[in-house]
């Protein structure tokens, strides 16, 4: 594309509203709209025979298999419901190890001879599908010639309908596994971890006399951050289109320094986009609750209400899909990468996690007197044990090349996993350890504002600590280390498995003590004292960004896996594998396959970025720089002709500076190209990943230094790429 055409596009973005085709606003109220496109309990209750519905509801609640013959009844009702709503196809929707979702569409329409067709969808088709497994990452579980893989219906996550310009499709959430039975997806381990934590948590509840709860469910609320940029500018940047982030780009004159974006008034164009997003989410039964501007310009956040962990994970994948699809209709591109722009805050997603029993009780709710709430203190001790003992496994739920740009970068929590409890809960724990009266140390239960017309406000059990990766926030824990583009399934799988392991150990010890005749209160008191002493090292209430914390964490023996490759090297550690093996969440073959897959994903992402740095450097930036040098050379020669050879010309100094960066960029691109070819031929997955981290990432940074310096001094009309100022401050 010529410079003149590029500049015409850039100018049009600054002066003309985009041509958009947003979906008309729905006339129905939000209460009428909510769940409209979901074959959930409400639709099933209306369409299924009472006995079938009762058995299905019980199967969903307990995670058990369907009654024989019920699948055909459910499939028929689901098909009729979907066709009435305009669906022509169905798909088994699954979550392979790509980190995205996958789907293969089949038509309901089936030929029956003599030119006739019928709509057909059986129970067998509902329960099981067979997509090709050979082309998905399997870490060696599947060979290229072994194509068979299966999807299995997950009845706990309701089917739903998605529409496009040409029709509608019924989506059926499923698990994905190999011909030999191993998990090839992220849903299956999550489902196993939910089952494991329920079994172990029930043992604790039974000890405390709860005989009514039938299961315990991890509850999750996922805050999703994202950027919006004008689609016309987005299409002028190959790095944004292919890598999701800017490989090159000079920091704008104004970023987030004035702190005027965060929670600011929402731009009308963005608000129209947000409103349509919410309508789609409401129709899908996703309880979108919060929307606001985030810290960086053109950065925003969406947060739904809490849901069962499996459904919340599926819904977050849908949220990302809806955000991107809706953005396109509004003339935006939605960026979910963790760090689309250097020099401004990146994006994450806060995974708010708690446990709730089937009676509706939040097991992390301290109550009004937490020092007397023995059950809460036991579950709190289990969290400390889980995170302290299995910090490495939990860290593995956050790995990814994109997230390496955030963690530990003073905009997200450090890579060191620690727990923030706040002063009040910390004092309770210390009183248990020291044998003091916790209630006598309980202070500051109200906030005095010093405003006469305002009553004193109840004080939360903890403040929020944005530098903590795992913070207690009143009745839940906020895991802040997950990246914005990532599935939350690995993080929640690791949290659930670690917690199930800790609860298993605690329940076994308490059951043994009580079985030997020790009173439960005494057994709990002794165990809490021991556990709190053993695991207080994981509690840190201070500033996680400081160098002092890095040193202190090392003294405490807390792991600090600063990047993805370092973390993944520990995936096969016996202690890491044991938490998944002992809870039956993953077997050894599945674990080793995941290590291989995640390393390969990292390598491929870095190699894509390196190739972009090379191609954009050579075919986009350098040709523009050569043109700028030519123009500057002509100017220097012209001025020199007037002022003479001895004149000290600022134009000539600028020419030499520009020429120096051009030559250095050429050398840096050539070096990166050579190293990329060399590393591409290397063997050994871990060695290739380490080389990508240690050679290609610094090589790209070296190219960027000189390209960004050229952007800062070149004629703006000749610069070939939309600049940060245009990307971040248009229509925000």
Judge contact between 81 and 39, C-beta under 8 A.
yes
Residue 143: predicted pLDDT = 65
pLDDT of 365-413, one tens digit each? 988 877 778 999 999 999 999 999 999 999 999 999 999 999 987 788 8
Write down the pLDDT at residue 454.
40
pLDDT score at 253: 74
Tens-digit pLDDT profile for residues 620-671: 999 999 999 999 888 878 876 777 776 677 878 888 999 999 999 999 999 9
Hunting for tokens 């299956």 — which residue is that? 188
676, 610 Cβ separation under 8 angstroms:
yes
- Across the range 81-99, mean pLDDT stands at 93
pLDDT, tens only, 1-20: 566 666 666 666 666 666 66
Residue 177 has pLDDT above 70, yes or no: yes
User: What H or E segment, with its residue span, contains residue 357?
Assistant: strand 348-357
pLDDT of 450 over the 60 cut: no
Asked whether the predicted pLDDT for residue 441 surpasses 60, the reply is no
- Which two tokens mark 443? 């202070």
Three-state SS for 721? coil
Distance CA 501, CA 511 (A): 15
Which helix (H) or strand (E) segment holds residue 125: the answer is helix 123-127
Give the model's pLDDT for residue 637: 83
Integer angstrom CA distances of residue 427 from 437, 537, 593: 10, 14, 43
Nearest CA to 612 among 244, 234, 232, 227?
Answer: 244
pLDDT of 442 strictly over 60 = no
Residue 18 is predicted with a pLDDT of 67
Give me the pLDDT at residue 440, please.
45
User: 143 or 593: which carries more pLDDT confidence?
Assistant: 593
pLDDT band for position 135 (50/70/90)? confident
Q: Provide the strand spans (E) within 136-260.
A: 149-153, 159-164, 167-178, 216-230
* Residue 461, pLDDT above cutoff 80: no
DSSP string, 585-605: SS-HHHHHHHHHHHHHHHHHH
CA distance 213 to 177: 31
pLDDT of 216-265, one tens digit each? 999 999 999 999 999 999 999 999 999 999 999 998 877 766 667 777 78
Q: How far apart are CA 603 and CA 513, in angstroms?
A: 50
Quote the CA–CA distance of 443 and 641 in Å, as a whole number: 81
pLDDT tens digit string along 147-169?
678 899 999 999 999 998 778 99
Q: Answer for the pair 276, 330: CB distance below 8 angstroms, yes or no.
A: yes
Residues contacting residue 287 through CB under 8 Å, at least 6 positions apart: 304, 305, 307
**pLDDT of amino acid 294:** 87
In the chain, the percentage of residues whose pLDDT exceeds 90 is 67
Question: Facing residues of 348 across strands?
Answer: 483
How many residues appear in the chain?
Answer: 732
Beta carbons within 8 Å of 325's beta carbon, 6+ residues apart:
none
The pLDDT assigned to 517 comes to: 93
**Poorest-pLDDT segment among 47-56, 259-268, 421-430, 498-507:** 259-268
Mean pLDDT of the chain, nearest integer: 88
pLDDT at position 227 is 96
């Amino acid at each position: 594309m010529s410079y003149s055409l590029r500049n015409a596009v850039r100018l049009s973005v600054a002066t003309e509203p985009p041509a958009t085709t947003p979906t008309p606003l729905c006339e129905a109220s939000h209460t009428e709209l909510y769940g409209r496109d979901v074959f959930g309990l409400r639709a099933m209750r209306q369409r299924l025979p009472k006995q079938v519905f009762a058995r299905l509801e019980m199967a969903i609640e307990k995670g058990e298999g369907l009654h024989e013959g019920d699948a055909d009844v459910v499939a028929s009702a689901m098909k009729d419901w979907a066709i009435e709503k305009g669906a022509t196809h169905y798909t088994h929707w699954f979550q392979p190890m790509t980190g995205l979702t996958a789907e293969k569409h089949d038509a309901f329409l089936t030929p029956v001879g003599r030119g006739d067709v019928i709509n057909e969808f059986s129970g067998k088709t509902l329960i099981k599908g067979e997509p090709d497994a050979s082309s998905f990452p399997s870490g060696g579980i599947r060979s290229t010639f072994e194509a068979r893989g299966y999807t299995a219906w997950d009845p706990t996550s309701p089917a739903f309908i998605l529409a496009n310009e040409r029709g509608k499709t019924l989506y059926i959430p499923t698990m994905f596994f190999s011909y030999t039975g191993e998990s090839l997806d992220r849903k299956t381990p999550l489902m196993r971890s939910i089952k494991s934590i329920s079994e172990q948590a029930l043992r604790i509840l039974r000890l405390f006399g709860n005989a009514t709860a039938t299961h315990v469910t991890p509850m999750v609320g996922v805050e999703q951050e994202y950027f919006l940029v004008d689609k016309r500018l987005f299409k002028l940047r190959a790095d944004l289109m292919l890598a999701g982030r800017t490989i090159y780009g000079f920091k704008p004159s104004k970023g987030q320094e004035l702190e005027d974006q965060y929670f600011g008034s929402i731009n009308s164009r963005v608000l129209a986009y947000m409103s349509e997003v919410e309508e789609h989410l409401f129709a899908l039964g996703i309880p979108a609750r919060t929307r606001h501007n985030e810290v960086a310009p053109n950065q925003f956040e969406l947060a739904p209400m809490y849901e069962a962990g499996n459904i919340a994970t599926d819904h977050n994948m849908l949220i990302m899909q809806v955000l991107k699809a809706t953005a396109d209709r509004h003339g935006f591109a939605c960026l979910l990468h963790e760090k689309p722009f250097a020099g401004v805050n990146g994006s994450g997603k806060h995974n708010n996690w708690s446990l709730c029993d089937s009676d509706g009780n939040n097991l992390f709710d301290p109550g009004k007197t937490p020092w007397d709430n023995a059950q809460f203190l036991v579950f709190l001790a289990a969290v400390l044990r889980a995170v302290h003992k299995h910090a490495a496994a939990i860290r593995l739920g956050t790995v990814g090349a994109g997230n390496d740009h955030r963690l530990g970068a003073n905009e997200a929590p450090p890579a060191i996993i620690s727990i923030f409890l706040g002063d009040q809960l910390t004092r309770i724990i210390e009183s248990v350890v020291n044998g003091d009266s916790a209630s006598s140390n309980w202070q500051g239960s109200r906030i005095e504002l010093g405003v006469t017309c305002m009553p004193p406000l109840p004080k939360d059990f903890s403040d929020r600590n944005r530098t903590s990766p795992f913070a207690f926030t009143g009745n839940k824990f906020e895991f802040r280390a997950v990246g914005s583009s990532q599935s939350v399934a690995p993080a929640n799988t690791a949290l659930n498995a670690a917690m199930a392991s800790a609860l298993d150990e605690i329940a076994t010890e308490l059951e043994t003590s009580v079985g030997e005749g020790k009173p439960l209160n005494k057994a709990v008191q002794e165990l809490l004292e021991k556990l709190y002493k053993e695991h207080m090292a994981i509690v840190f209430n201070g500033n996680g960004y400081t160098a002092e914390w890095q040193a202190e964490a090392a003294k405490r023996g807390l792991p600090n896996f600063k990047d993805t490759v370092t973390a993944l090297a520990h995936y096969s550690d016996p202690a890491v594998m044991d938490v998944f093996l002992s809870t039956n969440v993953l077997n050894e073959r599945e674990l080793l396959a995941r290590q291989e897959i995640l390393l390969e994903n990292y390598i491929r992402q870095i190699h894509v970025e390196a190739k972009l740095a090379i191609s954009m450097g050579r075919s986009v930036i350098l040709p523009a720089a050569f043109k700028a040098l030519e123009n500057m050379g002509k100017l220097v020669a012209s001025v020199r002709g007037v002022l003479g050879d001895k004149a000290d010309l600022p134009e000539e100094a600028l020419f030499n500076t520009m020429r120096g960066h051009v030559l250095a960029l050429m050398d840096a691109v050539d070096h990166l190209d050579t190293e990329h070819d060399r590393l591409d031929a290397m063997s050994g997955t871990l060695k290739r990943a380490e080389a990508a981290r240690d050679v290609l990432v610094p090589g790209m940074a070296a190219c960027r230094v000189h390209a960004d310096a050229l952007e800062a001094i070149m004629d703006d009309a000749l610069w070939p790429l939309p600049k940060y100022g245009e990307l971040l401050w248009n229509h925000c």
